[in-house]
Amino acid sequence: MQISSIDTRQGTDNTYRFSHGNTLPLTGVPFAMNYYTVQNDQSRGSWFFNPNDHRFEGFRLTHQPSPWVSDFSHLLLLPVTKSVGPDHIDDYAGSFEPQDALFSPAKLQLHDLHYSIDSTLVPNTYGATIKSRFPKNRQAGYQLTLPGRAQVRIDRNQGQLQGQLINFSDCEDPDFTMYFSIQLSGSFAAEPLRYRTATDQAEQIATAAQTEFAGTDLQLVFYLNETDNELALATSFLSLAQAQLNLRRQQSATFAEQAASAAAAWQDYFDRIVVEDHRHPAQVKTFYTTLYRLFLFPQKFYELDAQEQPYHYDTLARAVKPGILYTNNGFWDTYKTVYPFYSLIAPEILADMLAGFLTSYHETGFLPKWLSPDERGMMPGTLIDAVIADAASKDLLNPDQLEDFLNAMVHAATVQSADDKYGRRGTLDYLKYGYVPSTHGESVNHTLDYAYSDYCIAVVAEKAGHLLLAKQYRERARNYRHLFDPATGFLRPKDDQGNFTPDFRPLQWGHGFTEGSVWQNGFAVYQDIAGLVNEYGGKQAFYEKLVELVNTPATFETGGYGFEIHEMTELAALKFGQLALSNQPSFHIPYLFTYVDHPEMTQLLVKQLLTQAFNSGYQGFPGDEDNGSMAGWFVLSALGIYPVTPGSTQFVFGIPLFDQVTLHLPADKTLVLRTLNNEAQNQFVQARSLNGQAVTATYLDYEQLMAGGELTTTLGLAPSLHQLTDAELPYSISEYDD
């Protein structure tokens, strides 16, 4: 599919109270340092864009990874014309017709109805160029809005603006600065500049000699002599000189060449997955629209100096340093789907990211958890451990990296940081009791995540040849068992005396659980599903618990939250029982049926979720998409495979969505995923074969996928029940009890 046919507004119709994705329609190049979008209404804060709004406040340079995290280092550019009347700066917004605008990954294009201006924005990694065509009978100009602390210097002779900007929602450096350089293709008009700041709300008229402007929430309006203009913008987190260098590199290409380069950067990734299915065009469109979101985050947080060497800004040391760095990612969300997907489709970019994550460790003393622009410390666990273990298990790390990452993972597992943003929370108590007691918030989620991370440490330790260490942490990976309560059949919070907390109710959110109840969070034992099954008393008992989960009505008690948070509302709206695919903790739950000899239930649930919970439109996701995580669930599940346990190298079978998909893999390998009898009514798998050989296991290994060939799946109206052996079931640390 051509990148130009993708509409980036999927999942952008949201409010503070309800999420259809909580996405932004971001235009850029894959993993760019900057993205661009339309701003409709700044008064809505992080929800400044809505796809149904006609208001156009300008093209926004944004670094917002989530509305719950907010933006940093953002600015706004609005093409304007000089009004005949006394327009004031705060009235300068325009309007546009959303259905006539182009929101593409590689291009933003719209017609401003108020000003009669046609504008096209094309991006690159560190900047963008806006080409605008103004009415011939009007004075052309721009409004530049700089929230926060800003300084701007104007060179009228050269048609340039240079400046710096400080605005962020949180950062280790209170003076964290973005520098920018703007080059106009035209010349400044004699018409004086207008400006205002938060200090002096009244609009000011600049003198002819004034070249410097500074203040909080600075806005400038300037006019040009020409009515056809290109405004080229580049930024840097290092220095103004680096911003100027980034701009010079950008301007070495024409506007048309920049547009072609941006489109080609996207097309390179899109061409790695070729879907052939002419009977289900809506589903194909949803697949590719969703695929776009997998190549946005994390974002590059490094730049190339004059010798093309990578440098970045270390916010903790408040200094420029050599090396690769990435930002804008919450590993609690993305470890499940995004990084296993990269290991298949783009291992070269995964290697670059891993190098950046090591940089974070060396500069802060801990591996990152939630970066934006630096450590935010949100969400339980240290789930980057899964990203590392998955890469290690697939031989994507070199020996030096293995040792470095292993040291970092063990450090987080054994050292309690004085700053709870970093590392594990409740580390010492976890080491003391084998679980995180209820004196810590979200204690069950922390315990389960730490046990899984312990498994991940074991994987890396074994790869690095530290077998005793691997054995030690593999045993710790069973710590989840301390919280299993056979009386209720659930994992529950415990106090530091070993007592389960009283008044337990399965539908109650919070009280030990994160953004859900025990139904959504109590099955996160990815490394040892067999062990969890044994705690329940065997496969049949666990199967019945899963059936109860999906058949329990989609209701909830607000519990520890005290009010209805948006995730509760989205659970109820999805109507898949307590299977809240609207949030990350439930992602693996449909696949758990396979672990207890009922893959037909996995197939049925996955097919229903793929076809009913997603679409390519403004309400395209069943909940927060979160940095590609939900997009990754859809894309991988649509291919018919899902990485339940990153670190194990296994992809568990579900059910494929398309007639045929060709994956162009590294080393010139090709994997063809062919689906026979792919009719809407056929929701069960009858048989599978790999390169002509029958496949009875419920998973494929990474090496099998990367070797290429042809995987054929035959669908049917009724399940074809096969008595599975334990060897045919997916990975677990434990073996199933007889």
Does pLDDT of 556 surpass 70? yes
What CA–CA distance (Å, rounded) separates 481 from 495? 15
User: For the segment 131-155, what is each residue's pLDDT rounded down to a tens digit?
Assistant: 999 999 899 999 999 999 999 999 9
Fold of domain 279-653: Glycosyl hydrolase family fold (1.20.1610)
Among residues 692, 725, 612, 601, the alpha carbon closest in space to that of 653 is found at 601
User: For the segment 691-711, what is each residue's pLDDT rounded down to a tens digit?
Assistant: 999 999 999 999 999 999 999
Q: What proportion of the chain, given as a percentage, has pLDDT over 90?
A: 95
Q: How many CB atoms lie within 10 A of CB 433?
A: 18
Contacts for 482-491: CB closer than 8 Å, 24+ residues apart: 482/433, 482/434, 482/435, 482/447, 483/435, 483/444, 483/447, 483/448, 484/532, 484/535, 486/535, 489/536, 489/545, 490/518, 490/522, 491/444, 491/448, 491/518, 491/522
What CA–CA distance (Å, rounded) separates 7 from 702? 32
Q: How much is the pLDDT for 521?
A: 98
User: For the segment 75-94, what is each residue's pLDDT rounded down to a tens digit?
Assistant: 999 999 987 666 667 678 99
Q: Are 197 and 216 in contact (CB under 8 A)?
A: yes
Range in 133-147, 189-203, 303-317, 578-592 the model is least confident about: 189-203
Residue 576's φ and ψ, nearest 5 degrees, are -115, 45
Give the domain ranges of the chain: 10-268, 279-653
Does pLDDT of 211 surpass 80? yes
What is the average per-residue pLDDT within 543-560?
97
Q: Report CA-CA distances (Å) from 428 to 389, 416, 454, 478.
A: 23, 7, 14, 17
Q: Are 274 and 664 in contact (CB under 8 A)?
A: yes
Q: Higher confidence at residue 279 or residue 384?
A: 384
Q: How much is the pLDDT for 82?
A: 87
Question: Residue for token digits 């602390």?
Answer: 149
What is the average per-residue pLDDT within 358-379?
97
Q: How much is the pLDDT for 720?
A: 87
Q: How much is the pLDDT for 572?
A: 97
What CA–CA distance (Å, rounded) separates 333 from 633? 11
Question: Residue for token digits 């002779």?
Answer: 157
Residue 609's φ and ψ, nearest 5 degrees, are -65, -40
Element (H, E) at 409: helix 399-414
Label residue 199 by pLDDT band (50, 70, 90): confident
Q: Higher confidence at residue 526 or residue 721?
A: 526
Q: How much is the pLDDT for 96?
A: 98
Q: What angle do CA 55, 61, 64 make, to 5 degrees?
A: 95
Q: How much is the pLDDT for 721?
A: 83
User: Could you tell me which residues come within 8 angstroms of residue 7 by beta carbon, excluding any fewer than 6 positions away?
Assistant: 25, 103, 104, 289, 616
Q: Higher confidence at residue 204 or residue 587?
A: 587
CATH 1.10.3210.10 fits 10-268, yes or no: no
Among residues 387, 444, 450, 452, the alpha carbon closest in space to that of 416 is found at 450
In angstroms, how far is CA 635 from the centroid of its own chain? 14
Q: How much is the pLDDT for 192?
A: 86
Q: Are 186 and 226 in contact (CB under 8 A)?
A: yes
Q: Report CA-CA distances (Å) from 274 to 91, 180, 639, 670, 680.
A: 47, 39, 11, 11, 21
Does pLDDT of 201 surpass 80? no
Q: How much is the pLDDT for 1?
A: 86
Q: Are 165 and 150 in contact (CB under 8 A)?
A: yes
Q: How much is the pLDDT for 209?
A: 87
Q: How much is the pLDDT for 135?
A: 95
User: For the segment 573-615, what is each residue's pLDDT rounded down to a tens digit?
Assistant: 999 999 999 999 999 999 999 999 999 999 999 999 999 999 9
Token pair of 209, please?
């000699």
Q: How much is the pLDDT for 115?
A: 95
